[in-house]
Amino acid sequence: MTRFAHYPSLTNMPVVISGGATGIGASLVRSFAAQGAKVGFVDIALDEGRALARELAGLGQTATFIACDITDTAAYQAAIASFAEAHGDALVLVNNAAHDQRHDWAEITPATWDDRMAVNLKHAFFAIQAVAPGMARAGKGSIINTGSISWMILTPSLPLYETAKAATHGLTRAMARELGKSGIRVNTLVPGAVITERQLRLWLDAAALKSIEDAQALAGHVYPDDVARLALFLAADDSAMISAQQFLVDGGWANT
């Protein structure tokens, strides 16, 4: 018997997740599929996305993968329409896709700015634009935008990423007001230092891991499943009267 919650309202729920092939995204896909949701997910990681879809199909779960670059707005909105044809109009959207590549502010060009905003912010708005009409017809829906504590704790070498992630909660607040009377909730899920394979490969050596744990109020580390469990709650009917808020899963690090 699992010690974590099962949400009956997520059974057969059409869900769209961006950046779902690896890391936090893969945990989101697995977690929603395990709840009985009908998951559609996109990513540019073709092999990983296909492998995850096969894995979940083997478990009798529903997870449809479409290889898609979310910075191509037309292609991404077309993928969302394809998921709607297969699963029904999305009633949950998790805007997870992002890229936290380190960068030097003095070397940023206008083209780089546009590229970083596209991969970290712009796609979230246009995904909302694509799913909101179907949610409005149903009179319900949950949109979960993924933020970051990076801008809250003044992380160096990430100015564009932090700008986009701070703006993400502005998008949440704006769209919560725009869509709320149609029964659509919009919230921001804010991960802390999540231990993923990518983070371990690129940045998290033993010293960095110790520094993170020292900064947190809680001992231990945040893992992708910790983030996914909060997403499940925000998607389920259990959070029916929660909107325009941000929720941190950071081990008690950031001071908001």
Burial class (CB in 10 A: 0-12, 13-18, 19+), 245: middle
**Nearest CA-CA partner of 2 in 36, 24, 34:** 34
List 17's β-bridge partners, or say none: 41, 94
**Nearest CA-CA partner of 171 in 131, 113, 227, 129:** 129
**Catalytic, out of 7, 76, 161, 223:** 161
3-state secondary structure of 202: helix
**Nearest CA-CA partner of 153 in 198, 125, 114, 190:** 190
161 tagged catalytic: yes
Which residues are the active-site residues? Answer: 161
